[in-house]
Amino acid sequence: MVGDLLLVALLDGPAHGYELMDRLEATTGGSWRPSPGSVYPLLQAFEESGLITGHESDGRRVFRLTEAGRAQATERREQALAAAVAPGNSQHGALREELQQLHAAGRQVALAASPEQVEQAIAIVRGARQALYRLLAEQ
């Protein structure tokens, strides 16, 4: 969904990453703002796949849709926008709940675990974060 929303946001014209984050936040009425850690890897993947092009402007990398990117964004626009503004999306709520539980488990590890267990926990969380970014890059 984030990938489709980024492409749809570029239908409004060229933009740099933070500008795209602002557009997506506005699209959801301020209820969601993607992180730079999710936006920039997607932009790089889209550039590598030929959906967007990027160029430097005033010290920022500005992206614009290619013909292929415009076609994909136009095709997926309605579905992406509907998903972004869907009230009470249970999948998003479930994800939020799981993240809160992960945070609580992390606090417990920080308080009670041995140094070796803390190192293992760091590796587990790092692996999960990387897996989530890979998931987004598959779009």
Output the pLDDT for position 92.
67
Q: What is the number of alpha carbons within 13 Å of residue 36 lying toward its C-beta?
A: 4
DSSP state of 1: -
- Rounded to the nearest integer, the mean pLDDT of the chain is 88
Domain boundaries of the chain, sorted by first residue? 2-87, 92-137
> Is pLDDT of 63 > 70?
yes
> Is pLDDT of 24 > 80?
yes
CA distance 87 to 75: 23
DSSP state of 66: -
Pull the structure tokens for residue 81.
Answer: 């926008």
Q: For the structural domain made of 2-87, what CATH number should be given? A: 1.10.10.10
> Is pLDDT of 89 > 60?
no
> Is pLDDT of 32 > 80?
no
CA distance 2 to 137: 10
Pull the structure tokens for residue 59.
Answer: 């010290």
Output the pLDDT for position 84.
72
For the beta carbon of residue 18, count every other beta carbon within 10 angstroms.
12
CA distance 112 to 32: 34
Output the pLDDT for position 3.
86
Output the pLDDT for position 85.
66
> Could you tell me the pTM of the whole model?
0.61
CA separation, residue 100 to residues 70, 96, 103, 117 (Å): 37, 6, 5, 20
